[in-house]
Structure 1
């Protein structure tokens, strides 16, 4: 088909064509960035935490009694854990300072040499007391768990004031520190003292919900008995709500001065953690659908108007031998050229919008594959938008066009 008549027809409607191109360009820019942000948020929400989420409940307490201070604090905590383990349906318990979706998070720098600040990695640091691994459902890939004699008491000082002869790291951190795969038995440095890696576990997500999914599993477990934090209970049965209520009753009975700050299942904590992400996803989905609907209506309305304007012209072409397919292809090519112009401009706008998001919201650079995805969506919608009006135009007979003259 000769494309020259198509360009000639478009030049006669410059203003309308330019407006549609601008509309498609804005839609393309918003669509490409929205798809990218939506995918990033969905990937973040669907990350595996590395723990038995469906079986865990947490009680955060403020222990105000004298029994939880001084040298007898560990005995008081162990008494609480024993009471909680005695509840029906509870298979394991532990005191945890931090865990996935929790409100507390500790970080540290780790390196392969002492005081080598230039080559250190920022990681999450968890106090893994007795029962921590069994309660959370952590899986050991290599090495061993901590021995009883290796546990230190948090009462000895702040986390930064305790030496850690041994530690357990996640597989992601092991691959990052030792790409050759020989992390087990090697030493890392949190400060001047070496910490020997005695075990490697499956990935355990950082409590802070690290935005960068590449490093969201960089964690090290240290053998420390925490003095404060949350009581975690592993409850394989489905009645976790009743177990939470029973656990609260038991703890308050053991120490009436205690305050229960919060009690939730880990699934509820996960839902709350990703609440903002879900809102962003739905907002962008609605905005994208609205932009697509506006663009589709604009294209369809313009073609309908052109069909009415060109009734006589279409009839003349039909009388000169043009088939219905020729008329239909004319409108399809016309639409393809308009949408393509909008897509080219929209790709430039998409990169500009992404640069703004990078500067304001620390968003990563927009990967190029999202541009053809947006282009294909707009091309398909453009063709669907003009299908009805174009078919009506193609159905105009030479006789009707002649009478309208």
Structure 2
């Protein structure tokens, strides 16, 4: 089809054409970045934690010691909990993924190293950590009974207590010792003594989002008994509520002077942690839908207006032999030209918005794939939106050409 008549018509309707082009451009720029943000949020929420999420219950208490020996109290608690019906395993740990706060430490491969090689989170774990959390050991071994140390002794002034072994995540092992077997290697993190890697676990997510996606699984497990830790219980998914009630009652029996400050299933903690992400996803989805609807309505409105304004012109073309299909393609081609111009401007705008987000909000670079996908979507939207008015134009009879205005 010759597009010169179409361009001539558009030049006579510059304002209306410019508004549609601008509308499509804004939609393209915003939707491309919005869909990218949605994808990032969904991927973040779908990250595996490496834990038995549907089997864990977490309890947190304040004022746990009934005497000066907090470590003895912790051992008594665990012994009582492990005897409860439905409890598969129980442990205490200084932090839990998706909880409040995080313990982190830098890592050096040599003692005199100026800049750290990596930074990772630190789990202070007692016996039963792997079995309770559901973390999978893929290399080496876990801690021996004689390798555990007490946190309070470790923190005493002038203490000579050292951490004799450490288990690290596979992701951290790859960062520290790329292409090598991490088991048997040493590094420096807590104190001046080297820490020897005895095992590697598959996946163990950090409590929060320090370091971004690249560092999400850089974790270390130290054989340190931390008396003021959180209690984690593993049970069957269908027994979590009953076990939680029984565990709270048992902890009350063992020491009635403490105060329960937190009790949730791990799935509830995950849901709370990602609440803001879910809200953002729904907000962005709503924005995308609204933009698409407004753009479609704008195209329909403009095309309908032009059909009404050009009724006699269309009738003349029909009288001169133009078929319905040719009239239909005329309006579809016209829309395609406007959409293409808007999409080109919108792609430039999408890139500019992404650069602004990168500089102000640490946003990742927009992948090039999102631009052609957005273009195709808007092209299809334009063709669907203009189809109704174009059909009405194609239905104009040739006799209209003989009517007076």
TM-score, reference length from structure 1: 0.95
* Alignment-derived partner of residue 52 in structure 1: 52
Structure-1 separation of matches of 2:403 and 2:236: 80
Distance 1:237 1:40, change over 3 A: closer
Residue 97 of structure 1 contacts residue 104 of structure 1 at CA under 8 Å; is this kept in 2?
no
d(CA) in 1 for partners of 2:270 and 2:289? 28
Match of 1:165 in 2: 164
Matches within 5 A, 1:65-84: 65-67=65-67, 69=68, 72-84=69-81
- Residue 243 of structure 2 corresponds to 243
Aligned residue pairs, count:
402
Q: Is 1:337 matched up with 2:334? A: no
Q: Counterparts of 1:92-107 in structure 2 under 5 Å? A: 92-107=89-104
User: In the TM superposition, what is the alpha-carbon distance from 1:237 to its structure 2 partner?
Assistant: 4.2
- Candidates 100, 117, 121, aligned match of 2:118: 121
Q: Is the 8 A contact 1:124 1:206 kept in 2?
A: yes
- SS of the residue corresponding to residue 91 of structure 1 reads strand
| 1:91 equivalent in structure 2 | 88
Q: Are 1:171 and 1:200, in contact at CA under 8 Å, matched by a contact in 2?
A: yes
1:192 Cα deviation from its structure 2 partner? 3.2
1:211–1:15 Cα change, 3 Å: farther
Q: Paired residue for 1:5?
A: 5
Q: Which deviates the most, 58-67 or 312-321?
A: 58-67
| Counterpart for residue 274 of structure 1 | 274
1:314 Cα deviation from its structure 2 partner: 1.2
Distance 2:95 2:135 in 1: 14
Distance, in Å, in 2 between the alignment partners of 1:280 and 1:375 is 24
Question: Corresponding residue for 2:35?
Answer: 35
Give the match's secondary structure for 2:99.
coil
Q: For 1:38 and 1:66, how far apart are their aligned partners in 2?
A: 49
In structure 2, the gaps of 5 or more residues are none
CA–CA separation in structure 2 for the residues paired with 1:404 and 1:266: 77
1:75-124, CA deviations, whole angstroms, 9 ceiling, x for partnerless residues?
21111111111111111000111121122310011122223232421111
Contact 1:115 / 1:192 at 8 angstroms: preserved in 2?
no
User: Which among 127, 149, 163 is matched to residue 130 of structure 1?
Assistant: 127
Query: Partners of 1:222 and 1:364 in 2: how far apart?
Result: 33
Contact 2:32 2:374 in 1 (8 A): yes
User: Secondary structure of the equivalent of 2:21?
Assistant: helix
Q: Kindly state the Cα deviation for residue 158 of structure 1 after the two structures are TM-superposed.
A: 4.2
Query: Larger deviation: 182-191 or 309-318?
Result: 182-191
Indicate the SS of the match to 1:238: helix
Give the alignment's TM-score, normalised by structure 2.
0.95
State the shift of 1:266 in Å.
0.2
- Cα distance in 2 between the residues matched to 1:158 and 1:386: 73
CA contact (8 A) 2:124 2:223 kept: yes
Conservation of the 8 A alpha-carbon contact between 1:135 and 1:233: yes
- Partner of residue 187, structure 1: 186
SS across alignment from 1:375:
helix
Answer whether contact 1:97 1:226 (CA < 8 A) is retained: yes
Which residue in 2 is equivalent to 1:177? Answer: 176
Q: Which of 142-151 and 74-83 deviates more? A: 74-83
How far apart are the structure 1 equivalents of 2:55 and 2:64?
29
Flag the 1:159–1:274 CA change in 2: closer, same or farther, 3 A: farther
Report the CA distance shift for 1:211/1:379 in structure 2 as closer, same or farther (over 3 A). farther
